Structure 1
Amino acid sequence: MHIEQGQVAVITGGASGIGYGLAETLVSRGVSVVISDIRSDGLVEAESSLQSMGGEVTAVLADVADESSVRALAERTMEVYGRVDLVCNNAGTVCPAAPLWEQSAQTWQRMIDVKVRGVIHGITAFAPLFLERGTGHFLNTASSGGLAPLSGRTPYTATMHAVVGLTETLDIELKEAAPGLGATVLCPGLVDTALGVNSAALGAISLPTGGAQRSMRSIGGGNVLTPREVAESALAAIEAGRVHAAPGSGVVERARRRVDELLADITVG
């Protein structure tokens, strides 16, 4: 898919982080964007900021865990623009750091609702619109945690693996339906976002008491990507017809090690 002026993109979790980086990058290319988020305050701020860049922007409050909310997002998109070319199922959250047996049922439900069902809701709401036109592309945000195990974050890792497998299969199904359709999964390494703070605000995790939340950049130093860098990598993968985008230091090496270990495991006589 070639990304060009006049197209329309929908971005969930578009008020901050990778979602906002995608919106910024797409606006700079002349693409109209519909940004959605569950946080109304962040949504208003993001819409204003993107419009100050000269972007054609529509903000829609939506909860990706609610199928009817995502269908309303699709309806609003068509009402305003009459078309959609790219859907970025990007909304996300994180889980507490703990081994699997200490993770709560509530944590598992939240991660599945947002990161798995949220992606599914985006696909089922917008796929019929793509099929009708015979063109369109899904970009589903996962993580490098979807390419290799991440100890201490099992609910996060499990749902990210689900998004990777879902997207790989979705791309095959879409291309079987029409050659102009496709899907890409985004699996970045460390990104400088406020995902932890936003997740805490939604009750997904608790921040350390008596101290400021450490930023990703303070943890990863020079190995941390900006949201804009991640967005550029994702769009390059889409335009190249690739199913996977995995920017970030060490991501490819971790994935290769996991595949090598997998093959060694399953080929033992």
Structure 2
Amino acid sequence: MALRIDKGQVAVITGGASGIGYGLAEALAARGVRLVVADIREDGLAEAQESLRAAGAEVTAAATDVSDAASVRRLADHAVAAYGRVDLVCNNAGVVCPAAPMWEQDDRTWERMIGVKLRGVVHGVRAFAPLLIAQGTGHFLNTASAGGLAPLPGRTPYAGTMHAVVGLTETLDAELKQVSQALGATVLCPGLVDTPLGENSAALGAIRLPPGADSMRSAAAGRDGILTRREVAEAALAAVAAGRVHTAPGAGVARRARTRVEGLLADIAAGEGAPPGVHPAGSA
């Protein structure tokens, strides 16, 4: 069953001070949803809260490190104390990794990516799922990437965690629906989006950003179209409202995903035709 997004509901958004998170906050506020905006960057969080309030949103903010389970539990307590309930949890906080082959990516990069992009979602689910289950309705919106639907050479820590979030969300949706058809989960896998993700990642020490490259727009030169944060947010909320498990806005994303799935199915079919005990060339 889909989550009907109505005025007076409550949404929690991690990574909500900028980018897709802020776009989600804007789109939800326009629907009359009350907001709990969380981010690790306290200065950006204060600015986002002020801007949203100036636009008429009912919003509270909480500095949160999603890689820390205790910090996310405090976020859940903050949300309940502020509004008494939660209807939509947007596990959206993100960071990018340096461009390098997998064997050159260092341990700190892997720890950061797993901590923020994978464990951040895990912590969000563990903190909020009991609340949604107790009230009998609610939805998770987990932000991944087009990099979670197809290979992304040179960004293995990013692609690996994004693939994990896709699989995690698919399984989470099935588990929630075993509890109640009024519960569910959606994974957001956008293509290129005009956000300050690169700049924010550099500020957190995750990457080194070339001078003047202050947004993802620089990465889009000569490539398929780039989305605005609000376009991505509207696509995500439409998927939640329709009860879809996946949404992947952006030019070329569906094509890349289809190529990957067709290759996967071809490999599986080739393996099924092999004699017992004989592995097709290149298989394990």
Is the TM value for this pair above 0.5? Answer: yes
- Return the letter of the residue paired with 2:255: E
Q: Partners in 2 of 1:56 and 1:215 — Cα distance?
A: 28
SS in 1 for 2:61: strand
Q: Partners in 1 of 2:247 and 2:268 — Cα distance?
A: 26
The structure 2 residue matched to 1:8, chosen from 10, 13, 32, is 10
Seen in structure 2, the aligned counterparts of structure 1 residues 62 and 214 have a Cα distance that, compared at 3 Å, is closer
Counterparts of residues 1-269 of structure 1 (less than 5 Å): 1-208=3-210, 211-213=211-213, 215-220=215-220, 223-268=225-270, 269=273
Q: Partners in 2 of 1:154 and 1:214 — Cα distance?
A: 22
Query: Shift of residue 216 of structure 1?
Result: 2.5
Q: Partners in 2 of 1:106 and 1:190 — Cα distance?
A: 25
Query: Shift of residue 214 of structure 1?
Result: 5.7
- Name structure 1 gaps, 5 residues minimum: none
Query: Shift of residue 215 of structure 1?
Result: 3.5
Q: Partners in 2 of 1:98 and 1:12 — Cα distance?
A: 28
How many residues in Structure 1 have an aligned counterpart in Structure 2? 267
Q: Partners in 2 of 1:71 and 1:182 — Cα distance?
A: 20
- Return the letter of the residue paired with 1:22: L
Seen in structure 2, the aligned counterparts of structure 1 residues 205 and 218 have a Cα distance that, compared at 3 Å, is closer
Q: CA offsets per residue over residues 220-259 of structure 1, 9 Å max, x none?
A: 2570000000000000000111000100000000000100
Q: Partners in 2 of 1:80 and 1:139 — Cα distance?
A: 21
Q: Partners in 2 of 1:215 and 1:124 — Cα distance?
A: 32
Contact 2:192–2:227 under 8 Å retained in 1: yes
> Which shifted more, 9-18 or 219-228?
219-228
Q: Partners in 2 of 1:215 and 1:69 — Cα distance?
A: 28
- Return the letter of the residue paired with 1:136: G
Larger Rg: 2
RMSD over aligned Cα, in angstroms? 0.9
Q: Partners in 2 of 1:254 and 1:214 — Cα distance?
A: 27
Q: Partners in 1 of 2:32 and 2:262 — Cα distance?
A: 42
Contact 2:19–2:195 under 8 Å retained in 1: yes
Query: Shift of residue 266 of structure 1?
Result: 1.0
TM-score, with structure 1 as normaliser: 0.98
Seen in structure 2, the aligned counterparts of structure 1 residues 257 and 21 have a Cα distance that, compared at 3 Å, is same
Q: Partners in 2 of 1:156 and 1:19 — Cα distance?
A: 18
Q: Partners in 2 of 1:2 and 1:27 — Cα distance?
A: 15
SS in 1 for 2:36: strand
- Return the letter of the residue paired with 1:245: T
Query: Shift of residue 219 of structure 1?
Result: 3.4
Q: CA offsets per residue over residues 131-180 of structure 1, 9 Å max, x none?
A: 10110000000000000000000000000000000000000000001110
Q: Partners in 2 of 1:76 and 1:233 — Cα distance?
A: 28
SS in 2 for 1:192: coil
- Return the letter of the residue paired with 2:213: Q
Percent sequence identity over matched residues? 69
